[in-house]
Amino acid sequence: MESLMKHILIVDDEKEITDLLEVYLLNEGYHVHKFYTGKGVLECLEQQPIDLAILDIMLPDVDGSTLCREIRKKWFFPIIMLTAKIASSDKINGITFGADDYITKPFHPLELLARVKAQLRRAEVYNQAFTKETTQKEEIYNIRGLELNATEHSCHLYEQAVALTPIEFSIVLYLCRHLGQAISTEELFEQVWGEKYLDCNNTVMTHIARIREKLHENARKPKWIKTVWGVGYKIEE
């Protein structure tokens, strides 16, 4: 069974929503850890391995984006953000803080359940690919002080570790494997996310912005990930 032993964290102050999601997830065989506030969440993560988190962006004691950012400092499981906000800027902010998906309230529990399954499948595929890579010969890229080690799944900038999420690492790795080539936004999305690209999708752009921020890049004159206008992105040799 796909959900066997998978642990899902839910953090939402709306008790009715949290309890309803718990019922749906339990029916699918998931283990559920629920919180109505942000208090105790990080402590829970220290004690219990989590496979996916569902975070409300509006919590009574802490901003959901702040909590997401704190989680991303140490853990890289998929994160789905919930919010009553509908502005596209909120979605971009959520992804920038490290979220993998975003769903606006009100929503049908089955829609969220489908997204949970999709994110878990993606994480499993990624982990399998990474395991396969580690059994093969060492794959290291060193580009003007930026070192990416596919074997160890590590990234360093001038010998200082850079904490990239699995998606961010996959983006940089794909560009490194195609050094000097302009990779279209569509190709990058479909190769990294494994889904069909839609013209209105700005997910790649948002993740690139987040990666550049972590690399302390000047967006107008980037040293590593360069924008190829009308095409996509590339890393030059």
- Name residue 43's amino acid: E
What per-residue confidence (pLDDT) applies to 83?
82
Angle at 48 between CA 46 and CA 54, to 5 degrees: 95
Q: What is the pLDDT of residue 176?
A: 94
Q: Of the residues 76, 104, 130, which one is the last residue of a structural domain?
A: 130
Do 216 and 117 lie in a common domain?
A: no
- Please indicate, yes or no, if residue 108 is contained in any of the structural domains: yes
| Residue 126 and residue 11 share a domain | yes
- pLDDT band, very low/low/confident/very high, at 58 (cuts 50, 70, 90): confident
Is residue 1 one of the residues assigned to a domain?
no
pLDDT digits (tens, 9 = 90+) for 196-233: 777 656 788 888 988 999 999 887 888 999 999 988 99
Of residues 128 and 47, the one with the higher pLDDT is 47
State yes or no: pLDDT of 60 exceeds 70.
Answer: yes
Question: Each residue of 140-190: pLDDT tens digit?
Answer: 899 999 999 988 888 999 989 998 888 889 999 999 999 999 999 999 988
Are 30 and 6 in contact, with CB atoms under 8 Å apart? Answer: yes
Residues 117 and 11 in one domain: yes
Q: Torsion angle of alpha carbons 15, 81, 118, 8, nearest 10°?
A: -50
Q: Is residue 21 part of a domain?
A: yes
Q: Which residue(s) pair with 143 in the sheet?
A: 146
Range of the domain at 64: 7-130
Res 89: pLDDT: 56
State the CATH number of the domain containing residue 153: 1.10.10.10
Q: What is the pLDDT of residues 39-48, one digit of tens each?
A: 999 999 999 9
pLDDT digits (tens, 9 = 90+) for 63-110: 888 899 889 888 888 999 888 765 555 555 555 577 888 888 889 999
Residues 146 and 122 in one domain: no
pLDDT at 132 over 70: no
The answer to whether position 197 is within a domain reads: yes
The reply to whether 218 and 110 lie within a common domain is no
Place of tokens 């990474």: 130
Residue 225 near residue 205 (C-beta atoms within 8 A): no
Determine, yes or no, domain membership for 2.
no
Residue with the bigger pLDDT between 36 and 94: it is 36
Across the range 11-22, mean pLDDT stands at: 94
Residue 189 lies in a domain: yes
Q: Is the pLDDT of residue 133 over 70?
A: no
Asked if 120 and 148 sit in the same domain, the reply is: no
Residue-wise pLDDT for 106-125, tens only, equals 899 999 999 899 888 887 77
Both 120 and 165 in a single domain?
no
73 lies in some domain: yes
Are residues 29 and 93 both part of a single domain? yes
HSE at residue 106, side-chain half, CA atoms within 13 A, is: 3
Number of domains in the chain: 2
Pick from 100, 130, 160: which residue ends a domain?
A: 130
- Same domain, yes or no, for 115 and 153? no
Greater confidence, 3 or 173?
A: 173
Q: Which of 115, 130, 145 is at the close of a domain?
A: 130
Spatial contact of 167 and 192, defined as CB atoms under 8 Å apart: yes
Q: For residue 151, tell me if it sits in a domain.
A: yes
Q: What percent of the chain shows pLDDT beyond 90?
A: 46
Q: Is the pTM of this model over 0.85?
A: no
Burial (Cβ within 10 Å: 0-12, 13-18, ≥19) of residue 149: middle
3-state SS, residue 207: helix
| CATH number of the structural domain spanning residue 30 | 3.40.50.2300
Q: Do 71 and 19 share a structural domain?
A: yes
pLDDT at residue 1, rounded to an integer? 44
> What are all long-range contacts of 33-40, with beta carbons under 8 Å and residues at least 24 apart?
33/7, 33/8, 33/9, 34/9, 34/10, 35/9, 35/10, 35/11, 36/11, 36/12, 37/11, 37/13, 37/61, 37/62, 38/11, 38/62, 38/64, 38/67
Same domain, 81 and 187: no
Let me know whether 82 and 190 are in one domain: no
